Structure 1
Amino acid sequence: MGSCVSIESATAAAQSKKIDQNIKAEQRQAKFQQTVKMLLLGAGETGKSTILKQFKLIYGTGYTEEERIGYKTAILANVVTCAKALVYAMDSLKIPYGFEPPPLKETASGAFGSAFRSHASLNQPEKESGDTGSVRSLNEGKELGRVAKSAEEAYYAAGGENRQSGPSPKAAQVIRGCEMSFCFGIDESVPEEVIESIKTVWQDSGIQYCYSRANEFQLFDCCAYFLNDLDRITDPKYIPTDSDILNSRVMTTTITETKIKIQHVLFRVFDVGGQRTERKKWVPYFDDVDAIIYMVAISSYDQVLVEDNATNRLEEAMTLFSSICNHPIFASTAIIIFMNKIDIFKTKLKTVPITKYFPKFKGPNNVDKGSAFFASQFLALNANAKRKIYVHFTWATDTKQIKKVLATVYQIITSSNLKGAGM
């Protein structure tokens, strides 16, 4: 009996000693490991979740095969959602299938050389060719209006919404009838009839013209990326690549926390939904925030909100940023603005003048002047003259570029925290 008690006492003492040693080890590690709480904020459709994916790819362990397979369903859903959006927009914009836009009259600025691009070049980076960003004249705007009017007349002549004939209208009917809730599931693929129908409409010249007017309706930025690669994506053996995952769109409706260790710093990164209905969930996460990355889709200067078709997306982003950067709770918080989707912005400037949506803009319609203008608009909202807000122009799906940006952000945040600690 006595020996039994003695053994138990010795075991308990050993366990207690081990616990004490672990606690001391954790305390020693804590002295050398800084923890940073960071929020990803911004309106909807700005790329917050994409930046979080980049954190995982660059500083984490990447994606397992099981996680990649999980993204397959989301990507297929993106494909069907984009196809549906295009088909419905054909009717709302009054564009007939097979519509061939008449040639636009060349203007002095030459800004219309690529107004209507074929699907083969959509979503692909284009080379600079001098000053491609001259502001469109009133005549140029009238030219686009003339094409839209021509499309509407052809739409009614072809039979309108329900009486058009041919392969594309027939394929559009199949796409309309595809309900994603039962069209395919986790272990299934999109029905062959739907895939072929999507291929048919995507090759249609009317759909391509509709795509060129994507700012007039709600369409995922990943549309061309996925629809240009349907054969690969719909292959039964398809496994999403890093690029596919980065381009996929899944609306954020919950708060997610991702822990990433960069050198000796542990980053607790919180990603939150950006739509208006999701913002009430932000408040509980505002305490003890060390840094905020505020996401802005600079390419959305000609678009309206998903939840409010009367409000310009960039105007909304500015209003939201003003309330965040001037909130007393963030008085000492490092704030970095990511002017995201700079790649789309660059392409869009060739045909869409900033002045049409922001009359205050006076410079030539090019990337340098346009990006500087929008950066200045956001920086001017900061009421604290002593506070420095950092701006980076980003392409969230480009891992190489984001890696460089995040390295700079790391330096900003860690140096800011050291200053705050008096070190």
Structure 2
Amino acid sequence: MGFTFCPCRKCWGSKLDPEAQRIHDAVKKQLTRDREIYRNKMKILLLGAGEAGKSTILKQIQMIHGRQYSDGERRQFVVLIRRNLLDAIQTLIHAMDQLNIQYQDDANASLAQKIRSLSPTDSVFDQDTANKTEQLWRDEGIQQAYDRRREFVLSDSAKFFLDQAAAIGTDDFLPDDHCIMRMRVATTGIVEYPAHYRGMDLLFVDVGGQRTERRKWIHAFDNVSSLFFVASLSDYDQMVVEAAGKNRMEESVNLFDTVLRTPYFRSSTIILFLNKMDLLEEKIPHSRLEEHFPEYKPNLPGSGESDYERARKFIKSLYTDVFAGARLAGRDEDSSLYSHFTCATDRSCVERVYYNIRDDILNRALGDYAVG
């Protein structure tokens, strides 16, 4: 039968023999040391489904904490941005075939075949290729395919990069912060970013959101003070890349439910980032939410509420209802959920939200490790 040592004097009587006193003092000293260590550290974990915008939010937080990119780092991003650009135009070319859309200019059909044959890993993306990409992007047929982008998977940043294709192809192109925010690189493994605020060491941890990456999440679950869950508001009419026929928003809500019921996070503060509100506002007039979520009731004329505002509230309720259900199923009663509507590519928006929550979660962490 094992022996469990308790440092409390009540369990030993008023006096301890010298050896027991030594053990008692050592344990008490270690407990105090551990409290002080964790009192000054806070781990913030970013979770969410793929393409939700977690990594973009982390890049914004890095810049808020003073992160600056050197010209050398920016030059390294050029290859990645050109790959994003090539992937965007190739996706649209493929969609033209799938949707049976014709090119406005017959010459662009043969040009598209040349662009289609390029490999994303090709190191050659010269000015000529950039000019051809820009020419294709201006074709009316490509624009029709872009207008129907909800019918296939296209990066949210496609238009941003395609609008400046010629500039991206120049030898002296150097991406600015806006380009870096829009740049898409799938997160693989675990990415950590340390920061410091009010005497506290902060550690932000980002993990890949794709299904194939989620098996690695368990390695980042220990000692999490706060959880940032990022969900895309614009995913209601899109399908999961790894699972044909699975709605991306349903996938995100189910993932949120699973995370909330994980024992590691039963007492963690949950910050819900309802991201891509700009894309939702752009999309909602053309793609009806009720076609994908029949329980959603469109805005009634004369109610004074726009379809966009009503859609935001409905999508938020999908997640808050899940949180309420998780509480009934065993989450700590004092656990909290804070939700914020965000646009991860908008620095001022992320700053405003981050400043609102940073002091709150910091004060909670200090309270949790208060030394009596």
User: Same fold by TM (over 0.5)?
Assistant: yes
Deviations along 1:155-193, one digit per CA (max 9) or x if unpaired, are xxxxxxxxxx72210110111111122x32xxxx51344
Residue in structure 1 matched with residue 341 of structure 2 by the alignment: 393
Residue 92 of structure 1, aligned match among 77, 88, 98: 98
Give, in whole Å, the separation in 1 of the partners of 2:133 and 2:40.
Answer: 50
One-letter code of the match for 1:72? V
Residue in structure 2 matched with residue 38 of structure 1 by the alignment: 44
Residue in structure 1 matched with residue 110 of structure 2 by the alignment: 170
Displacement of 1:415 in angstroms is 2.5
Give, in whole Å, the separation in 2 of the partners of 1:412 and 1:357.
Answer: 36
Give, in whole Å, the separation in 1 of the partners of 2:164 and 2:352.
Answer: 28
One-letter code of the match for 1:348? K
Unaligned runs of 5+ in 2: 1-32, 300-305
Q: Secondary structure at the match of 1:344?
A: helix
Residue in structure 2 matched with residue 406 of structure 1 by the alignment: 354
Displacement of 1:332 in angstroms is 1.1
Unaligned runs of 5+ in 1: 1-26, 99-164
Give, in whole Å, the separation in 2 of the partners of 1:262 and 1:167.
Answer: 58
Deviations along 1:30-52, one digit per CA (max 9) or x if unpaired, are 67972111111000001111011
Deviations along 1:94-113, one digit per CA (max 9) or x if unpaired, are 11112xxxxxxxxxxxxxxx
Give, in whole Å, the separation in 2 of the partners of 1:409 and 1:168.
Answer: 50
Residue 316 of structure 2, aligned match among 375, 390, 402: 375
Residue in structure 2 matched with residue 285 of structure 1 by the alignment: 220
- Closer, same or farther in 2 for the Cα pair 1:33/1:418, shift >3 Å? closer
8 A contact 1:167–1:200 mirrored in 2? no
One-letter code of the match for 2:254? T
8 A contact 1:178–1:194 mirrored in 2? no
Residue 120 of structure 2, aligned match among 167, 177, 180: 180
Matched, 1:58 2:64: yes
Give, in whole Å, the separation in 1 of the partners of 2:267 and 2:38.
Answer: 23
One-letter code of the match for 1:174? K
Give, in whole Å, the separation in 2 of the partners of 1:422 and 1:265.
Answer: 14
Matched, 1:361 2:296: yes
Residue 49 of structure 1, aligned match among 47, 55, 73: 55
Identity of aligned residues (%): 34
One-letter code of the match for 2:96? M
Residue in structure 2 matched with residue 82 of structure 1 by the alignment: 88
One-letter code of the match for 2:94? Y
8 A contact 1:318–1:378 mirrored in 2? yes
Residue in structure 2 matched with residue 150 of structure 1 by the alignment: none
Matched, 1:384 2:319: no
Displacement of 1:388 in angstroms is 2.2
Displacement of 1:206 in angstroms is 1.0
Normalized against structure 2, the TM-score is what? 0.83
8 A contact 2:277–2:343 mirrored in 1? yes
Displacement of 1:253 in angstroms is 1.2
Q: Secondary structure at the match of 1:207?
A: helix
Give, in whole Å, the separation in 1 of the partners of 2:38 and 2:260.
Answer: 30
Displacement of 1:243 in angstroms is 0.5
Give, in whole Å, the separation in 1 of the partners of 2:112 and 2:228.
Answer: 41
Displacement of 1:375 in angstroms is 0.8
Q: Secondary structure at the match of 1:395?
A: coil
Residue 137 of structure 2, aligned match among 192, 202, 207: 202
Give the alignment's Cα RMSD to 1 decimal.
Answer: 1.8
Give, in whole Å, the separation in 2 of the partners of 1:192 and 1:177.
Answer: 17
